[in-house]
Amino acid sequence: MHRTLFRVALVGLIAIAMLLCAGCTTTPSGNATPSGTAATTGTPAETTSTATVVPTLLAEPNATATVDVNGTPAVEPTEAPGLMNTTWEWTAIETMDGMNQTVVTDSFLHTIVFKPDGSYGIKNDCNVGGGNYTLVGSSLNLTAPITTLAWCGDESHDQLYLASLLNATAYSITPAGKLALSLGESGNQMVFKANATKSTPVINASFVNKTWYWTGMTQTMPSKEVAVSNPNRYTVVFAENGTYAVKADCNTGTGNFTLEKTVLKISKPNLTKAYCGDSSSDRDFLDGLSRVKAFQTDSTGRLILTMENPNNRMVFKP
């Protein structure tokens, strides 16, 4: 009887134990997340340490990234020239996408220099002169220059050069260091290269880029003055690049000059050789220029060129 009761009790205990074990589950630790299942409560599990990082390419320190119109990296010149105080040589007229329209083989014959004071000087084949310009941002406008009027030959690009300059509306310096002048709405541009020698002087003087009309000769000891009846026939224009243009009655030409403080030296010009008549003063005019040693301006704005003999002077009015 007792054994029977014991067996019944033992069986009951085993049954209870089995029931308890059947209700047991394996509970993960509070911070664990089952494999393949994102945690939905608490702090996300180290998302920054498991995220995929996309590397960023950084430019080298102090490097300037430049791209052309197609998005292709372009090489910056070591020393890019600036718009001003650079002698720019005309090389071509191109479309905006770089297709040549006009190619200029002798680029040194057509140059321009922009000065910080708002003036510019040009060499246009056998003629030289200068004018003024306005600059607002990259917008550019040039006034018509005052130049000599020599005929440079049928093959010259002088007329095209001058007409194109006056149609310029904007400028840019290309990554290759060239100057591009946009030509209105034509879709074309003038292209210039910087003078390779970088030795072109920039002469800043009160008489530069002005047309001077020869009015006569003066002598101080004894005092004497010889007037020129038609000053419009005898003119000289000095450019800031050390060249000058001259009109001597019926002839025109160009030459060079140097300036050290007030010491002025004028070379003999390359000149046309027409005969201007027995009454012409062209020989006296040209001979006087070649003998100039110094300059000054007087209170009336006249230019006085002193010759080898300081008593003899050429007088010009602006």
Is residue 130 a contact partner of residue 122, using CB atoms and an 8 Å limit?
A: yes
**Looking at residue 150, what is its pLDDT?**
81
**Looking at residue 249, what is its pLDDT?**
95
The CATH code belonging to domain 88-194 is 2.40.128.270
Distance separating alpha carbons of residues 170 and 181, to the nearest angstrom = 6
Amino acid making up residue 171? Y
Which residue, among 317, 316, 293, 309, has the nearest Cα to 220 in the 3D structure?
A: 309
**Looking at residue 31, what is its pLDDT?**
45
Classify domain 211-317 by CATH architecture.
Beta Barrel (2.40)
Secondary structure E strands in the chain: 88-95, 100-103, 110-114, 119-124, 127-136, 139-142, 146-147, 168-173, 179-183, 188-194, 211-220, 223-227, 234-238, 243-248, 251-260, 263-266, 270-271, 292-297, 303-307, 312-317
**Looking at residue 286, what is its pLDDT?**
94
Query: Would you call 89 exposed, middle or buried from its count of C-beta atoms within 10 A (0-12, 13-18, 19+)?
Result: buried
Looking at every residue in the chain, the average pLDDT score rounds to: 78
- Which residues lie below 8 Å from residue 230, measured CB to CB, with a gap of 6+? none
Query: 10 Å Cβ neighbour count for 295?
Result: 21
Distance separating alpha carbons of residues 205 and 22, to the nearest angstrom = 109
Is there a cis peptide before residue 222, judged by omega within 30 degrees of 0? yes
On the question of a common fold for 88-194 and 211-317, the answer reads yes
- pLDDT tens readout for residues 192-233: 999 876 455 678 888 998 999 999 998 776 777 789 999 999
Q: Identify the segments of the chain with pLDDT beneath 50.
A: 21, 23-80, 198
**Looking at residue 41, what is its pLDDT?**
41
Distance separating alpha carbons of residues 68 and 169, to the nearest angstrom = 21
Q: How many CA atoms lie within 13 A of 115 on its CB side?
A: 19
Is residue 276 a contact partner of residue 158, using CB atoms and an 8 Å limit?
A: no
DSSP state of 94: E
Domain parsing of the chain, residue ranges: 88-194, 211-317
Is residue 258 a contact partner of residue 265, using CB atoms and an 8 Å limit?
A: yes
**Looking at residue 152, what is its pLDDT?**
86
**Looking at residue 311, what is its pLDDT?**
87
